[in-house]
Amino acid sequence: MKTRTSREADLSAQIAGAIRDAIVDGTLIVDERLPSEAELAEQFDVSRPTVREALKRLAAQSLIRTARGAFGGAFVRRLSYEEAYGQHITTATLLLGMNDVSFETACEARYALERACAPIATARRDPDHLATMRAEIHRQAQPGLSDESFCDSDVTFHRALVDAAGNPVLSYQLAGAVEAMQPLMNMITFTARSREEIVGLHTRITDALEARDAGAAETALHALEAYTLTLGRGVMAARASNGAD
């Protein structure tokens, strides 16, 4: 009989899975060089293109990097925070965009997570974080700012707040939630009045951090969540009535 493998998956997926498992469980160490494509092909008894497809799958997950030339090849890659951020954000954005996640649910999750790091941030914040936050607040108060730039600044502000906790694992988790909200936030048209309100709340948050007052920070974040929710619901309602016309 033919080699009907127990797994239904493709050969390339099997090979990718085998190598990934070796990386995850530590058999392959960071910066270790994998065998060449020709050697892998012989080892798994498949052709080189199949091995290549498997390696591309791993490269797509940032598990390996490849270098050309002599002494090149595929190497186990140290997953950096930046790459992990990127993947996390892509996944989270798609998850929100494809699964009809309500604005309320996304908003609740985001601010719950931000409140989680607020107490830590109040304890650890340093002048740099405060300076970044104040700078973004200043930018948000500029009259001529486009909605998109306002949202960008908002993201930068919140990431500074998260980074102030000084915990990269926390930053990693939070980055996905904050950035994935971007497409939803971009739907909102910020009036001068709502910007003023948001700038005020951002100032309260920053002041609380500066004063190392965790309770005040949490309260301000609650207020910001409530206000964001109000704005979002307004947009949803307007959109619904437009769609019904």
Partner DNA sequence: TTACATTTAAATGTCTGACATTTTGGGCGC
Partner DNA sequence: GCGCCCAAAATGTCAGACATTTAAATGTAA
Q: Which residues bind DNA (CB under 7 A)?
A: 2, 10-12, 34, 36-38, 45-50, 52-53, 55, 66-74
DSSP 131-152: HHHHHHHHHHT-TT--HHHHHH
The stretch near a second copy (CB under 8 A) out of 116-124, 206-214, 223-231, 232-240 is 116-124
Size of the site for a second copy (CB under 8 A): 60
Which of 116, 242, 231 lies closest to 184, judged by CA?
231
CA angle 240/243/245 to nearest 5° reads 115
- In 3-state terms, what secondary structure has residue 79? coil
| Per CB under 8 A, 41 contacts a second copy | no
Cα 238 to Cα 233: distance, rounded to the nearest angstrom: 9
Instruction: Classify residue 165 by burial, with Cβ atoms within 10 Å: 0-12, 13-18, 19+.
Output: buried
Q: Give the nearer residue to DNA in terms of CB position, either 24 or 67.
A: 67
State the binding partner of 234 from a second copy, DNA, none, CB within 5 to 8 A by kind: none
Where are the strands (E) in the chain, listed by range?
A: 64-67, 73-76
Indicate which single residue of 33, 44, 52, 145 sits in contact with a second copy (rule: CB under 8 A): 52
Q: How many CB atoms lie within 10 A of CB 226?
A: 12
> x/- site string to a second copy, residues 173 to 192, per CB under 8 A?
x--xx---------------
State the binding partner of 217 from a second copy, DNA, none, CB within 5 to 8 A by kind: none
Which 81-100 residues touch a second copy, going by CB under 8 A? 81, 84, 86-88, 90-99
CB of 196 to a second copy, least distance (A): 27
The stretch near a second copy (CB under 8 A) out of 58-66, 127-135, 190-198, 232-240 is 58-66
